[in-house]
Copies of this chain bind each other. A is one copy, B any other.
């Protein structure tokens, strides 16, 4: 009885399977330990491989983490960020963002965003730059919505739109991750925090 594993795989299937396993392991590791304490040895072992496999798929630690960030960006954009472009009431869009983000953060790898952002804050590193750019883009979208809402009267006046958007996303991210797993209050409190930052009355 030899190790006849996985019913014979093609190279492409093998590659994708390994790559995904390594990415998931890395995401979990970043969420738990951050970038600095992320050991490629542990990432590979936890995924069932050695560092050799990892270096075959990714040029190095940076590229691995960049791939993780890219994956998070994609899933976030699909599951959360799409409400920013659905044209409708700006205030409703931002509140929907809060609820969607709270749900997104229920998965244990969501902390990747927050961990890396803090770790690379005000630092000159490719990972930090990618994170900063991604966040900046989202902040810009939110600021536009806030300005639109203030124009049409659905959002009260307040600090500059961009500063408000910055606070909104910061509070939302922190609350959603901190309260992940405390359903259903995670959604409620995320929405409350966003309402407060926007100056909206309680629901």
Q: What are the residues of chain B within 8 A of A164 when measuring CB–CB? A: 185, 189
By DSSP majority rule, is chain A's interface helix, strand, loop, or mixed? helix
Closest to A115 in B: B118
Q: What are the residues of chain B within 8 A of A36 when measuring CB–CB? A: 34, 36-37
Interface flag for A63 (CB, 8 Å):
no
Q: How many copies does the complex hold?
A: 2
Provide the bound-state CA to CA distance between A190 and B75, in Å.
29
Q: What are the residues of chain B within 8 A of A88 when measuring CB–CB? A: none
Provide the bound-state CA to CA distance between A180 and B195, in Å.
21
Most B CB contacts (10 A, CB to CB) among A170, A185, A198, A201 go to A170
- The smallest C-beta distance from A30 to any residue of chain B, in angstroms, reads 12
Q: What are the residues of chain B within 8 A of A185 when measuring CB–CB? A: 159-160, 163-164, 167
Most B CB contacts (10 A, CB to CB) among A178, A185, A199, A201 go to A178
- The smallest C-beta distance from A92 to any residue of chain B, in angstroms, reads 16
Q: What are the residues of chain B within 8 A of A32 when measuring CB–CB? A: 122-123
Given contacts A36-B37, A37-B36, A202-B201, contact A178 B167 (CB under 8 A): yes
Given contacts A115-B118, A122-B32, A196-B193, contact A159 B174 (CB under 8 A): no
